[in-house]
Amino acid sequence: MNRYYVIAALAFCIVIGAIWFFRSGDRDARQINRRLDELVETVEKRGNQSSLRQMTQSQAVPGFFSADATIRMAPLYASTLGRRETAQTLYLIHNNVDRLTVRVRDRRLDINHEEGTAEMRITLTGGIHQGGRRESYVHTFQLNWIKEDRDWFIRQVELVQAIRPPGAGPAEW
């Protein structure tokens, strides 16, 4: 009987150790991943959200970006946006859809600790719910981060086309 408890304790320790090992990575990486998760939560819209909450959410968006941030979503959205325009666009989107879900499926992060910059590639999936219809999407983005005052901010967002459409020129993959 005692042997069972020893084995169970050993297995428990292995599991805890594995969790600790995988979670205790680079501190900057943890911070960037946390910031991204917070941004995703801010961008999402759950059903029956009050307009006050929508406004609060969109006002929180600029806080994730550096002052000189550029957001390029071509060909989905032609213009290059700054952080304020992004917040306004998000507010408009939230006003026009019933629900917006965002899920980060894959993320690849490369941090340059000396320069205080990081490059991240993410794939997002989700759905836009409007009037009983759901349109699903999958997009890949390149995010460039910069460290300012011990915190990480997004400096550039660019939509990456994993499949290069005909006539789009050489691949940048």
Partner 1 sequence: MHRAEVAKRNVVRDTIRVEAPTDQQAKARGANWLLIFLIGRHPVRTLIRAGLLAAFCIVIFRHALLPVVVSGDSMYPAYRNGQLGFANGLAYARAEPQRGDVVVIEMTGRSAMYLKRVLALPGDEVRFSNGALLVNGQVVNEPYIEVNGTWTTASETLGPHDYFVAGDNRSGPWQWHAMGVVDRDQIAGRILF
Return residues touching partner 1 (CB under 8 A): 1, 3-4, 7-8, 10-11, 75, 105-108, 121-123, 125, 136, 138, 140, 161-168, 171, 173
Distances (CA, A) of 103 to 33, 39, 120, 140: 13, 11, 16, 12
- What is the DSSP track for 49-66? --HHHHHHHHHHGGGGEE
User: To the nearest whole angstrom, how small is the minimum distance from the Cβ of residue 124 to partner 1?
Assistant: 8
Looking at the Cβ atoms of 87 and 143, the one nearer to partner 1 is: 143
Looking at the Cβ atoms of 65 and 141, the one nearer to partner 1 is: 141
User: To the nearest whole angstrom, how small is the minimum distance from the Cβ of residue 111 to partner 1?
Assistant: 16
145, two tokens: 């981060």
User: To the nearest whole angstrom, how small is the minimum distance from the Cβ of residue 22 to partner 1?
Assistant: 13
User: To the nearest whole angstrom, how small is the minimum distance from the Cβ of residue 108 to partner 1?
Assistant: 6
Nearest to 145 by CA among 22, 31, 25: 31
C-alpha–C-alpha distance, residues 93 and 128, integer Å: 10
Looking at the Cβ atoms of 53 and 108, the one nearer to partner 1 is: 108
